[in-house]
Amino acid sequence: MSKSDENATHVFTINLSKAWLTPQYRRTDRVINMIKEFAKRHMKNENIKIDQELNKEIWKQGKTHPPRKVRVRMSLDDNVVLVSSYQDNLKENEGKKNENTDTT
C-alpha cells in the first residue's frame, strides 16, 4: 500500500432502508452489520471499528427504529478502518474555527 492509502479518509452516506425488511426487534442490529459490510466493501479491509458516538446515534431511537440513512466518515489507520459520524466531525471543526476567529 502507498502512504496515501494508509491514512485515507472518505465520507459516505449509507442508505439503511433495507433494514426495514428484517423483523422489528432486529433492525438496529442489522444496521450495524450493514455499516460494517459497507465499510469492508468500500475500504477493502476486514478490520472495522465503529466509533462510540456513531453507535449511540444509531441506537438513540431504540432497537426497532434506527435511522434510514447515516452520513459517516471512514478513515484507515494502521490497517484498521474507523467509522465515525460525519456530523460530529463538522461540529468539532466549527468549534475550532470559532475559537480562531474570536480575537477580542
pLDDT in tens, 40-90: 999 999 999 999 999 999 999 999 999 999 999 999 999 999 999 998 666
Evaluate whether residue 96 is within a structural domain.
yes
Binning pLDDT at 50, 70 and 90, where does residue 8 land? confident
Q: Which three cell numbers stand for residue 45?
A: 479491509
Evaluate whether residue 30 is within a structural domain.
yes
Evaluate whether residue 32 is within a structural domain.
yes
Total structural domains in the chain? Answer: 1
pLDDT value, residue 103: 60
Q: Which three cell numbers stand for residue 78?
A: 494502521
Evaluate whether residue 27 is within a structural domain.
yes
Cβ-contact 65, 27 below 8 angstroms: yes
Measured distance CA(85)–CA(54) in Å, rounded? 5
Ordered DSSP codes for 40-67:
HHHHT-S-EEE-HHHHHHHHTT-SS---
Evaluate whether residue 42 is within a structural domain.
yes
Indicate which CATH number applies to the domain containing 60: 3.10.440.10
Q: Which three cell numbers stand for residue 11?
A: 465520507
* Residue 19 burial (CB count, 10 A): 19
Q: What range defines the domain where residue 26 resides? A: 8-101
